[in-house]
Structure 1
Amino acid sequence: MTSSQQRLALVGVLAAALAAPARADDALQISGFASLVAGKVLSGDRTEPFFRYDCPCFIADYGHGALYSERWQVKQESKVGIQGTYTFTPKLSATAQVVGRGVDGVKASLEWAYLSYDVNDSWTVQLGRKRLPIYYYSDFQDVGFAYTWVRPPADLYGWEIVNYNGANATYRGDWGGWAAKANVFFGRENSRDNLMQRIYYDTPQNVTWKNIVGGDLVLTRGVLTTRATYIQSDVQQWDRSSGARVTPAPDSSKSAEKQRIYGLSANVDWDDWLLRSEYSVFDRSGYSYRSQAYMLGVGRRFGDFTTLVTRTNYRERNRFAPDGQQHDSGYSATLRYELNSATAVKLQWDRFRDMSGPDLSYVGNSRLLSMSLDTVF
């Protein structure tokens, strides 16, 4: 499918969704979301280009290669998505989601496509393409209306693989007063011209995560929601132009490298106060690095307004190259206003501090101002 055909397909899906409002008794349920996001780097201390990107610059979305520069930009994070679920029987359904992003020319990208079968009141099995649940907000990270920030903190959120193709089983139940949701999954993903690796490489990179196995557990009681996750996989990477292997190293006898991912989060909603926290570890220490990242946010609601101040940090360690690792931190201040029950506007200021190196030339310190209009329909 060409780029123009993909745009036409996306417009057609959007038009169909708006022309056919869903009813509770319809076999086909259609919903959607959209975000119009504008951002501009206010200041920064890197003046030379960072690979193909003009600087001063700010990385807003690693997973999709979205960076802002000193001029106002609206394509980096703006997006529109349509999701449809068709119910064949009370137990069997099919779901698909198409997303168009400004950063890649609003191509119609198939993000979700899976069959779902309810075994009983507690268990559901699914087969197909889904979002890889690395983070707390992974399943709805594209839906800007679903969280307070303009974007989930980039120091924590965003990796080279976003989706996976495989199967999962989900359990829901009550554990002594705690609402429990447990999920186990397996699969793989092949990413050609990987979007995150465009940030770090001059030439296109192909990335494969195979033998993905993992699980996550969400526990909710009263004002508290906690989540723990574990994922492991084999990693391979090639330079798409030359065909040369990047991971594992060309002289390695191994066909793939191992990685393990750990994550913890705890969120509190108590009256008008809210707390958002998350911690993750990517362990590739056997061949590359081990990274740790966290975010902590505190906010309060004032009627239709919500404020949120967030602290973030990301750090890599590598015994093979201790002075060539990425290390950065940030602060953000967010103001959200509810226009109605399905639409919100947000204003956010970010300060990014680059402490990488000294053998790593990274993006440098910067400050970003961004705003968004987020809606669901």
Structure 2
Amino acid sequence: MNWQNPKQQAVSLLACALFASSGQAAEFNWSGFLTLAAGKTLSGSVQGQNEVGINCPCMISDFSQSGVIDSSWDFAADSKLGLQGNLQLSEQLSLTAQLVSRGARDWDPNLEWVYAGWQLGDSDLIQVGRKRLPLFYFSEQQDVSFTYPWVHLPPQTYGWEAVNYNGINWNHSFQAGDWSGLVNTFAGSETRKDNDYMKIYNGIDSETDTRWRKIIGAEVLMNRDWFEGRLMLMKSDTQSRLASDNADWSAPTEQMLFGASGLIDYQDWIVSAELFFSDRTESYGRDLAYTLTTGKRLDGWVWYLTHGLYQQKINAMNPLELTTEADQEKHRLSSAVVRFDVSSAAAVKIQLDHWQDGGGQWFKQTYGDANALSISYDRVF
């Protein structure tokens, strides 16, 4: 399956949609979101400029977009502005596009989503184009910070090389007694050039390309009253190349990704858990990540405590010649967050993070331990 780049997709989808809906009145709606977030490390075990060119003490707040908080107050790591437009061409056919500008990427606008949707009856929806890869519970709204508790999503869980994919998905909703359910199956591919995720490891001036092919997966969501649960399974081939060194693509290797989450929102209490596991035995080994959160509503404020872990297990005989002592990555993050909703569309958050490193020599010497403070204003419009 050979998917086009986002700009080519936008033109193709628009042409097809306009042809299919000729003679019908179209309706356009738009929405947006904004996060102004300032962050600063208070202390840390690494001092000065590290190996990849970041001034430390420093803490990674967003692996996927290379968002890093350093020792100076800065809006770059977690601030963003997004606009989403929806063109309803008929009762069945629509076009959606989303443009996001991030501080972590020098505010360059990026076309994150562009897809066409066909509604097949009341329960089935097919979407074709560029969408968010549904690896995690908050994947679809991960840019809309107003929708979740934290200033930045827990980086131990929400950090991976690929964020979007080009392909097709089918949503099927159903009712099973008192339970409401949704099954989302998806397939496609993704090539991410100058991958921001890899700048965390290869240097802020490096250029690394990532390619995921033969993506196929499914997620199931079930909810009833105050509980919601989710399971996800995905398989693909993965490759990379260090383009700044004119390196060739690595040989394709298989990966299996598994995710599970649960959310309880009962009266004034909120409890959530998310687990993520990857099997990359053909490449280097396996990854395990989890996040646990407890929240309490109190006099208009919501108070949260979160703890997360990310841990690698490197195979002794791996083609990348990684070793446990030097290269294995393991770290924990404990966070305290307080949120106040200014209105039904705006919130202020304050977050205190404690990052504790327990991995090999490279990560310990490059990032190490850190304590950070972040403050944000989130708005949807």
In the superposition, the TM-score normalised over structure 2's length comes to: 0.89
Aligned to 1:32: 32
Give the Cα separation in 2 of the matches to 1:149 and 1:239: 33
Secondary structure at the residue paired with 2:155? Answer: coil
1:6-85 matches, within 5 Å, as 27-48=27-48, 49-85=50-86
Stretch moving more, 125-134 or 235-244: 235-244
Aligned to 1:226: 229
* Contact kept? 2:52, 2:366, Cα under 8 Å: no
Q: Gaps (5+ residues) in structure 2? A: 1-24, 317-322
Give the Cα separation in 2 of the matches to 1:177 and 1:207: 43
* Contact kept? 1:354, 1:362, Cα under 8 Å: no
Aligned to 2:377: 373
* Per-residue deviation, 1:26: 7.7
Aligned to 1:267: 263
Secondary structure at the residue paired with 1:133? Answer: coil
Q: Deviations over 1:91-124 (max 9, x none)?
A: 1100000001111121111011000001111110
Secondary structure at the residue paired with 1:74? Answer: coil
Give the Cα separation in 1 of the matches to 2:46 and 2:362: 16
Fraction of identical pairs, as percent: 34
Runs ≥4 residues deviating over 6 A: none
* Contact kept? 2:26, 2:89, Cα under 8 Å: no
CA gap 1:334/1:50 in 2 versus in 1, 3 angstroms = farther
* Contact kept? 2:238, 2:254, Cα under 8 Å: yes
Match among 326, 351, 368 for residue 364 of structure 1: 368
Match among 211, 216, 220 for residue 213 of structure 1: 216
Aligned to 2:124: 123
Stretch moving more, 45-54 or 93-102: 45-54
CA gap 1:32/1:281 in 2 versus in 1, 3 angstroms = same
Aligned to 1:322: 324
* Per-residue deviation, 1:247: 3.1
Q: Deviations over 1:350-374 (max 9, x none)?
A: 0000101146544100001001000
1:335-354 matches, within 5 Å, as 335-354=338-357
Stretch moving more, 232-241 or 365-374: 232-241
* Contact kept? 2:126, 2:170, Cα under 8 Å: yes
1:65-144 matches, within 5 Å, as 65-144=66-145
Root-mean-square deviation (Å): 1.3
* Per-residue deviation, 1:51: 0.9
Aligned to 1:11: none
Specify the code of the residue in structure 1 equivalent to 2:189: R
In the superposition, the TM-score normalised over structure 1's length comes to: 0.90
* Per-residue deviation, 1:148: 1.1
Specify the code of the residue in structure 2 equivalent to 1:91: Q
CA gap 1:26/1:88 in 2 versus in 1, 3 angstroms = closer
Give the Cα separation in 2 of the matches to 1:290 and 1:280: 11
Number of aligned residue pairs: give it: 346
* Contact kept? 2:34, 2:81, Cα under 8 Å: yes
Secondary structure at the residue paired with 1:200? Answer: helix
Give the Cα separation in 1 of the matches to 2:257 and 2:373: 31
Aligned to 1:9: none
* Per-residue deviation, 1:246: 6.0
Give the Cα separation in 2 of the matches to 1:345 and 1:241: 40
Give the Cα separation in 2 of the matches to 1:61 and 1:51: 16
Secondary structure at the residue paired with 1:80? Answer: strand
Specify the code of the residue in structure 1 equivalent to 2:84: Q
* Contact kept? 1:156, 1:293, Cα under 8 Å: yes
